[in-house]
Amino acid sequence: MLGVGARLRPGGVEAFRDATGIQGVPRKPGQPHWYEFLQFHRQAFRNYLGHYIAEVKKTNPAFQLCSNWAFTDHMPEPVCAAVDFLSGDYSPQNSVNSARLSARYLAGRASPGPDGLEFQHQARPQPENRRAVAA
């Protein structure tokens, strides 16, 4: 599902109707045609990604591109765009377990590039999280 919710740009409703023939556009999960609505947006992202990579490669074929978390455990589907490597970044909260899950997923996937690129962010302890230790 979309993490931030489905949002339509101007023309988005018409594009969904034209592509699917569905006139009643759902606005939230549980409404009729929600699955088709999500698939429409997922395909639009795949199309955008493929187009973006192709346009960059026209002027600089050696430039390496990826899309953060595309074709990883966050988007578990076959690689359908000419990404050069897989990438992801972890939030400071629970990053070790997130990395463990991602590594298990990526280990079984043929990567389009030599290596994956992953970032980990470390949170600095906040004063309210520090405990005073009595001497």
Contact yes or no for 68/89 (Cβ under 8 A):
yes
Residue 119: helix, strand or coil by DSSP? strand
73-114 pLDDT per residue, tens: 889 999 999 999 888 888 778 888 888 888 888 887 766 654
Element (H, E) at 87: strand 87-90
Q: What is the pLDDT of residues 24-48, one digit of tens each?
A: 999 899 999 999 999 999 999 999 9
On whether the CB atoms of residues 122 and 99 are closer than 8 A, the answer is: no
Q: What is the pTM assigned to this prediction?
A: 0.73
Torsion sign (Cα): 42, 46, 52, 56:
positive
3-class DSSP assignment, residue 9 = coil
